[in-house]
Amino acid sequence: MSGFRRWLALALRFSYKGVDDVSRKYVVVDLETTGNTHDRGDKIIQISAVVVENLKIISQYTTFVNPGVPIPPFIEELTGIHDGMVATAPAFKDIAVDINELLIDSIFVAHNVPFDLGFLQGELNEAGFHNFSFESVDTVELSKILLPEAPSYKLSELSEMLGFDHENPHQADSDALVTAELLLMLIEKARKLPLVTLEKLTHMAFQLKSDIGSLFQSILTDKRKSIENLPDDLEVYRGIAMKKKIIPEAKSYELHVDYPSNTDEKIGLLTGKMNGYKPRQGQIEMMDTVYAALNEDKHAVIEAGTGIGKSLAYLLPSLYFAFEHKQPVIISTYTIQMQDQLLNNEMERLSKIVPFPFRATILKGRSNYLNMLKFEQSLNDNEGHYDSVLTKMQLLVWLVFTDTGDMDELNFSSGGHVYKQRIKHDGWFFQQEKDPWYSRDFYMHARKLASNADIVITNHSMLLIDTETEVNVLPEYQYVIIDEAHHFERAARKCFGKKIEYNSLKFWIGRLGTLDKKLLFSRLEKMIESKGLSPSIHSFELDKAIIHLDEEIDDLFMLLSKIVSKNHRKKSQKSLKQQIRITENTRSESKWNPLAMCAERVFDYHRQICKGLEERLTSIKQHEKKPTESEQAFLEEANSFVKGWLQIGEKIKQLILSPSDQEVIWLEGDVRALPNSIGIFSQPKSPGDLLAESFFANKNSVVFTSATLTVNNSFNFFLSELGLKRDQLLEKIIASPFDYRKIAKLMIPSDLPEIRGASHDEYIEAIAGHLIAIADATEGRMLVLFTSYDMLSKTYNLMKDTGALDDFVMLAQGITAGSRSRLTKSFQQFNKAILFGTSSFWEGVDIPGKDLSCLVIVRLPFSPPDEPITEAIYEDIKKSGKNPFSVHSLPEAVIRFKQGFGRLIRGETDRGVVIVLDRRIDTATYGRAFLRSIPDVPVVRGPLKEIISTIEKWL
């Protein structure tokens, strides 16, 4: 069961008996329109209104509406509504009387009230109905509060998660009915919240955008009429309702078990307890390799092809080993989603399979957890900032259900993430026992669970940070499985690297504020004055330092902006995003001197502010009068700020004033947004050296696994990147069980120009022409992978401008709004869709089945040689007398190519074609390296017409 579904199931357990008083009439409305803006001439094409009274759906009114204008192809594809369906429908003015009467004396409900109500008011105005106002309830807003863990608040995705029957998403009748069901479910959830939670929610709800305050007030009034019975696992502590924390007793297992030694035993164990389990020889091989590595204290690298079932293949032997040897095994993944999947899905399955009890938990960095003292005191703030209010309400509801206090479980708005910085856990300024919430502290609870666990699930970043810090967060361990291991080198670079960015620095100064801003510094000064303390650095002196620092930071980043602008003009580069490596030669140039002097001033002012803040905190801590809880919460927040503030000074020193020759340092910025886009970054030249010293040498067994670790069936590149030696190392390549020759084809058109033989614009025109023809043949369902955003945007715009694909939905990373997961889900909703992606779309995108039947790789994914990290790596390789292309560039591109190729076939019933538009895979001698590193698939070569004919027959 997923975290969200588990949370939802728990939500229905509260016992509450009362008389319904939420009996007003609600009218739940959904519109389909020709576009997003009524003021620009867009019109309604369908309206549906569901009437809810006494918390029951009593009627539904639905009609098509003749908009008087053609329905755009995109809207037709989205809704399924075409011009013929509205041709004989009434105009809106003909139904306006009915709509107006329906809405009178009702509460207007919609999933995104500003859109539906705004559009409807515009149409009613035009029809002559001007004097109206409605109370409204926005089910998006209400869902955010009462379903704070929901990964998405789109109606179609909410209805899928909640199990509603949603037959025709994006048609008004179906959408309105589902919104009405959602409203009733949310009201029921609100009624079952503890009284203290509902009281706090009601108090804050009147600051929201829709009239949820009135709804909560009526529920609260009704709830106070009866005695509340809370479940046994819930408590109210200091006026906040939350789950009780249960620490399991220390492990004392006396049961003896042996790892199943042969294939038949493993298959018998799995088929006996897992419905529909299909034995896979590769999975059994991987289990044995993992167990051997752990049992023999060896490191291992395992490439497991798609369909092996590698999660189960490493978790089962890890559990047996941990149980037998009373040693925890750490499982590290790259993504939060994978961590949750392992704990909530895989470990739950394994609990029904293995013949012994075990404990598994997730442990993350301290700042992921909620600090209850800071949160409690923030509830007393009278701030009216919308995102902060909404986030506080989400947290109050979430606390009733969360076992972990891990704020990654929540779906925060961008403004909510800002508030999260205030309430995150960051250790203790005072003795931790003085924290009134210490006995309920989520971070300490997580650590206790981890110290008692057989399997601890964490992420690469946490694992790497734990090797760097003196205070270890993870329990002492010697055995670790690193899944998604192809990310580990990149995660190490990022973890060991540093950055300072203009916007981030301005944000920190904004949080600190000057004396007149009534922010952190001003509040600290008032506390100093109230206690009669006299710091050595006077408040006015510190105030001036903050003002001067702010000015010097502006000057520093203006100087850096000039470097970015000059580099852009000098190289006549088309790309607006610039990366400029800062080398010893750069720093020796005279133009660097003013910048270095400015950085010195920034560092000095920063150090003065640090000294002043630290002195104030220390003097308050040592003061004889005990701080109030409100003061204590503020001081914890201030101490958290100072910890982060100290790191800024260190970064300025390491990146500009005293850089290391073991670091690659570069400047990055977009010439369209200077200085806001400027940042200075560093990463180690060789993270493998750091890992060899601080990580591998101290562990008995580290097992790396991924679907993409080899090049030409060799781990050489991966091992060299991480600094791993072959001594005491197990290596295993396990091919995918899928028969790729039957389910996939690789196609290489021969009539495209060579990359080096055509101009950039000519090449993009040729690519666009081929993609249009391919899209017609495949009827969309096509993912197109680019290696640069510039080429992606130009190709997308050119294809859009031709008008040849007007009946297709074209979604593009960086152009179409939304995250990677949002774009992927949108792509799956349409039959004739094309998704353009770069960077992150080469991996981690999972589109199974018929939704994706064509994958296009536009260019072989070589890193640009002038990227700072790549440039530095090349220099070091050349110094050693080797060829940078063959040693680094080619193997890196092959691994990336394998990741892209892997997007097509995700399950054994998938079927499709991969089209490579880069002829170098055929014409260059190194092209064979790409072909040898992917599964054995039929390769079709020829002009586009022949390719198209083959595609049409194949699909």
Ligand-binding annotation for 308, yes or no, is: yes
846 touches 886 (CB < 8 A) = no
Rounded to whole angstroms, the Cα distance separating 240 from 230 reads: 13
Could you tell me how many helices (H) and strands (E) the chain has, helices first?
A: 39, 25
Q: Is the peptide bond before 114 cis (omega within 30 degrees of 0)?
A: no
- The SS3 call for residue 614 is helix
Residue 305 marked in a binding site: yes
* Straight-line distance from the first to the last Cα atom of the chain, in angstroms, rounded to the nearest whole number: 35
DSSP 400: T
Structural contact between residues 659 and 583, judged by C-beta atoms closer than 8 angstroms = no
What three-state secondary structure class fits 853? coil
**Separation of CA 847 from chain center:** 17
Q: Classify residue 126 by its DSSP letter.
A: H
Dihedral over alpha carbons 313, 316, 317, 319 (to 10 degrees): 150
Determine whether the annotation assigns residue 304 to a binding site. Answer: yes
309 is known to lie in a ligand binding site:
yes
C-beta neighbour count of 156 within 10 angstroms: 17
Query: Which one, of 398, 422, 393, lies nearest residue 199 by Cα?
Result: 393
State both tokens at 531.
């206690």
Strand partners, 498: 682
Tell whether 310 is in a known binding site.
yes
200: left (phi over 0), alpha (psi -120 to 50) or beta: alpha
Q: What single letter denotes the amino acid at residue 503?
A: N
In this structure, what token pair is assigned to residue 293? 């590595």
- Residues 103 and 28: their CA atoms lie apart, in Å, by 10
b/e burial code for range 914-924 (CB count within 10 A of at least 16 → b): bbbbbbbbbee
Cα-Cα-Cα-Cα torsion 789, 792, 798, 799, nearest 10 degrees, comes to -150
Integer Cα distance of 811 and 852 in angstroms:
14
Residues forming beta bridges with residue 704, ordered by sequence position: 301, 482
Q: What does the block give as tokens for 844? A: 């981690």
Q: Phi, psi (5° rounding) for residue 648?
A: -60, -45
Are 659 and 868 in contact by the 8 Å Cβ rule? The answer is no
Q: What is the DSSP string of 707-738?
A: S---BTTB-HHHHHHHT--STTEEEEEE--SS
d(CA 634, CA 508): 16
881 known ligand binder: no
Return d(Cα 789, Cα 268) in angstroms, integer. 50
Binding site residue list: 304-311
Binding site residue list for ATP: 304-311
